[in-house]
Structure 1
Amino acid sequence: MKQNQKKAWLFLAPALICVTVFSIWPIIRAFMMSFQGGPLINMQFNGFANYIYIFKDPDFWHAILNTAIYAFLAVPIGLIISIALAWWVFSKIKHQAFFETMFFMPYVTSTIAIGIVFRYILNGKYGMLDFCLRAMHLPAPDWLDDPSMSLISLIIFGVWASLAFNIVILMGALRNIDPNYYVLADMYGASGKEKFWRITMPQLVPTLAFLLTVNLIGAFKIYTQVYALFNGVAGQANSAMTAVFYIYNKFQVVGTPGVAMAATVVLFLFILLVTYLQRKLMKKVNS
């Protein structure tokens, strides 16, 4: 009602101020800085020079390619494994709350701490993974120090890290499916595979669309995992360089904030485009 509008805006004001100061203004400021050059304390307008620089920089395209490969491999693989584990716990395990807690623990654990553990697991000399591979007489690559294996190691880390959040969300979605669907399916003699593909998966489409969107956005913004896994660098010879790590390097290490902000704007538009296409695709699948 009109008489309550002033009170509503009053209650919304703190949240709107926080969103403006910490979300909207940084985006506007980054866009403005992308057209400026020089040090951070004395930036001057330089037109499209920063955009021309990054589009000609092979390191930028290498970072974008690594980020795209990571996103389009780690996210689908992580979702497939999450669905399998969530369905297995939901349909086969009695003490579901215990397993949900165990699965969710990595999500609330520091990524840096997990990265340190993974550095020991993937170490080429004394790592647990290579020890197991050698015991089975399989090739044991140097996961962290071999440039050709850096991105694969990052994908393994990313897939494992994404399972916690995905499984808990999927478990909640599975509980919301009407059990009468499964009762009717049993009455008509449906197999477990038929129940999964004809009942469970169609009901999970909205949840999967949400998880796909969140995971894709998170994958394109990956930075902490790279920093933690490779001890502050982007792998040997920058083999695991990602877009956000490139932005960090240009801003903090090289000292060219304008170039970093230009890369930020390009990455923002790229994420926006991918998210839009993904949402359109999921709407067609849902319909």
Structure 2
Amino acid sequence: MAKNHMEINANSDTITGVKLTRLKNKRSQLVWYIFLIPSFLGILLFMVYPIFESLRLSFYQSNGTIENFNGLNNFKTVLTSGPFWNSVWNTFYIGIFQILITIPLGFIFATLINSTPRGQSFFKVIYFLPNVTSIVAAAIIFAFVLHPEMGIVNYALEAVGLPTPKWLADPSTSKWAVILLAVWHWIGFVIIICLANLQAISPDMYEAAKIDGASGIQQWLFITIPNMAGTFAFLLITGWIGALQRFNEVYVLGGPNGSPARSIQTMGAFIYERGFTGFEFGVASAATYIMFMIILVFTFLNLKISKMKL
């Protein structure tokens, strides 16, 4: 009996010890959750709340202080606005040419760097520097570089006898000024992503192709490019999302109305102009959700197309 009683006490002590250990573990985990509270509150305050507040404002006529329920009229105002559709056209024009130029060019540069036995780290740093440069600072520099009279680009063109465009002063060339800036700023990111995937392709595939008599061009066409399909899909999707949200550089180069003659005003700049220049926060909120739907649709289409290719 005494032995059984001692065993029962030992078991109860073990159970108590396990419970105490579990309680301590829960308390230690609770401490870590407490550290997450500031970040969680920041997400709620600066991300979640603005999303729902913008959705609410899209149904109101608001100047920031006075609000009146407006139903779907804000969406009608945006969808029947000439400047809005002009901003959509500008956004797509700049985005399409940026992607068509940057991804193939970045892939070619990445292929050349990958084939270089020495100095790869140096080339990575050189090409990636524009990407870590502030887009605002880069836009200010480009405004000087592309100045029609004092810019170094026109100076070089004039030196070799080529015509000197007015760039940002002419609506016919202003979009290409933004495209040049976008390509210069984004190409480093494309090169780094492509280079990482190129170095992940198994060398055995190239060795087998060499044994079968495949040339370097054939290896590039039938081994390298097919293995880059997932990378191209990623760059296409991220490139489109960034292009459709373009604001900073066009604001610096042309202001909220995308001067000259609204030629570089994007959807983001249109939203800023209506909200913070015209104080039409309801219209700006409606335009924001229309832009969100456009981004959502194009992201979905890009995913579908990428899966079809894969």
1:281 and 2:310 correspond: no
Per the alignment, residue 244 of structure 2 pairs with: 220
Per the alignment, residue 252 of structure 1 pairs with: 276
Identity level (%): 31
Per-residue deviation, residues 101-132 of structure 1 (Å, max 9, x unmatched): 11111111111211121112211112111122
Per the alignment, residue 222 of structure 2 pairs with: 198
Q: By how many angstroms is 1:21 displaced?
A: 3.7
CA distance in 1, matches of 2:308, 2:121: 34
Q: Which deviates more, 21-30 or 240-249?
A: 21-30
CA distance in 2, matches of 1:157, 1:33: 34
Q: Could you say what secondary structure the match of 2:213 adopts?
A: coil
Letter in 2 for 1:151: K
Maintained 8 Å contact 2:257/2:270: no
Per the alignment, residue 292 of structure 2 pairs with: 268
CA distance in 2, matches of 1:184, 1:219: 40
CA distance in 2, matches of 1:225, 1:113: 9
Q: Which one of 124, 127, 133 corresponds to residue 148 of structure 2?
A: 124
Gap runs ≥5 in structure 1? none
Residues 168-247 of structure 1 mapped to structure 2, 5 A cutoff: 168-230=192-254, 234-247=258-271
Q: State the TM-score, normalized to the length of structure 1.
A: 0.92
Maintained 8 Å contact 1:115/1:228: yes
Q: Which one of 133, 138, 141 corresponds to residue 114 of structure 1?
A: 138
Q: By how many angstroms is 1:230 displaced?
A: 3.4
Bigger RCO of structures 1 and 2 (CA < 8 A, at least 6 apart): 1
Q: By how many angstroms is 1:229 displaced?
A: 2.9
CA distance in 2, matches of 1:193, 1:105: 30
Letter in 1 for 2:118: K
Maintained 8 Å contact 1:111/1:228: no
Maintained 8 Å contact 1:217/1:271: yes
Per-residue deviation, residues 178-221 of structure 1 (Å, max 9, x unmatched): 11111112222211211111111111111111111111100000
Give the number of the structure whose alpha-carbon radius of gyration is greater.
Answer: 2
Letter in 2 for 1:109: T
Per the alignment, residue 35 of structure 1 pairs with: 59
CA distance in 2, matches of 1:16, 1:204: 37
Q: By how many angstroms is 1:136 displaced?
A: 2.1
Per-residue deviation, residues 233-256 of structure 1 (Å, max 9, x unmatched): 612121111100000001111111
Q: State the TM-score, normalized to the length of structure 2.
A: 0.85
Per the alignment, residue 156 of structure 1 pairs with: 180
Maintained 8 Å contact 2:256/2:270: no
Maintained 8 Å contact 2:110/2:194: yes
The verdict on how the C-alpha distance between 1:108 and 1:25 changes in structure 2, with shifts beyond 3 A counting, is same
Q: Could you say what secondary structure the match of 1:31 adopts?
A: helix
Maintained 8 Å contact 1:174/1:200: yes
Per the alignment, residue 44 of structure 1 pairs with: 68
CA RMSD of aligned residues (A): 2.2
The verdict on how the C-alpha distance between 1:180 and 1:118 changes in structure 2, with shifts beyond 3 A counting, is same
Q: Which one of 115, 122, 125 corresponds to residue 91 of structure 1?
A: 115
